[in-house]
Amino acid sequence: MHNSTGKKFVKDYIEFYITNICNFNCENCNRLNNYYFSGHELWSDHADEYRQWSTKVDFEHISILGGEPTLNSDLSTWVSELRNLWPDAKMSIVTNGSKLKYWYQRGFFDLLAKTNTELLISLHNRSRYQELITEIKSYLIAPKETYVSRMEWKMTYIDVKDPSWPDCENYEDFLNLPEHIKKECIEIHKIGYDDFLKNTGILELNDERGVKIRVTYFENFRSAPIFYTGNNKFSVYDSDPEQAHKVCSSKKCTHMMNGKMYKCHNVALLPEFSKQFDVIMTDDQKTVLSAYQPLESGAEDLTMSAFLEELPNTIPQCNLCPSEIEHFFLQSTTDKPKIKKKIFDIKLIN
Sorted by where each begins, the domain ranges of the chain are 9-149+201-329
Q: What is the CATH number of domain 9-149+201-329?
A: 3.20.20
pTM of the model: 0.83
Q: Over its length of 350 residues, how does the chain's per-residue pLDDT go in tens digits?
A: 544 456 789 999 999 999 999 988 888 888 988 888 999 999 999 999 999 999 999 999 999 999 999 999 999 999 999 999 999 999 999 999 999 999 999 999 999 999 999 999 988 877 788 899 999 999 999 999 887 655 555 667 777 788 899 988 766 677 788 999 988 888 877 776 555 554 456 789 999 999 999 998 766 677 889 999 999 999 999 999 999 998 888 888 999 999 999 999 999 999 999 999 999 999 999 999 999 999 999 999 999 999 999 999 999 999 999 998 776 666 777 777 778 777 554 343 33
Extended beta strands in the chain, E state = 9-17, 57-65, 90-95, 117-123, 144-148, 202-206, 212-217, 220-222, 227-230, 233-235, 255-257, 260-262, 278-280, 295-296, 327-329
Q: Which residues contact 292 (CB under 8 A, 6 or more apart)?
A: 262, 263, 267, 315, 317
Residue 98 is classified by DSSP as T
Which residue type does 244 have? A
